[in-house]
Amino acid sequence: MSMNYKKIALASDHAGYEYKENIKKYLTEKYLLKVTDLGCYSKDSIDYPDVAHKLADSVSSAETEIGIILCGSGNGVCMTVNKHKSIRGALCWNKEIVALSRQHNDANVLCLPARFITIEEALEMIEVFLTTDFEGGRHLTRVNKI
């Protein structure tokens, strides 16, 4: 399997910290991708907007190509990243939603609910996110209206 991206931003709050660490190892060891870890760096409680703004800035400035972010429900980080220009964050909980977020919405940030999915599900969703292309066409017209 080939990944469409080489530079990925990765972040989480304390609820997603363990998953983030597993995801970072998975992407760097299995696929040799460059992962920029934007925090958090322990299980200590943090405010999710702090890492979400860093990740959104990284993707919107093209320092990284795409982002993956986790919090307990996925909602807080998704709401935060979507405040940034050119960010299309998608809250996803299964592979089908992930595929549609890429195909129809050209999502560039995957927001995952760490407390509601397994690490295996997270890794499967990340593979779909990184290997699914935007379909363009009628979807481009809609994405341009966001």
Task: List the catalytic residues.
Answer: 71, 104
The whole-angstrom separation of Cα 66 and Cα 56 is 9
Q: Do residues 53 and 85 touch, judged by C-beta distance below 8 A? A: no
The whole-angstrom separation of Cα 27 and Cα 18 is 14
Q: Do residues 70 and 112 touch, judged by C-beta distance below 8 A? A: yes
* Cross-strand partners of 109: 67, 89
The number of CA neighbours under 13 Å toward the Cβ of 123 is 15
Is it true that the peptide bond before 40 is cis, omega within 30 degrees of 0?
Answer: yes
The whole-angstrom separation of Cα 145 and Cα 20 is 32
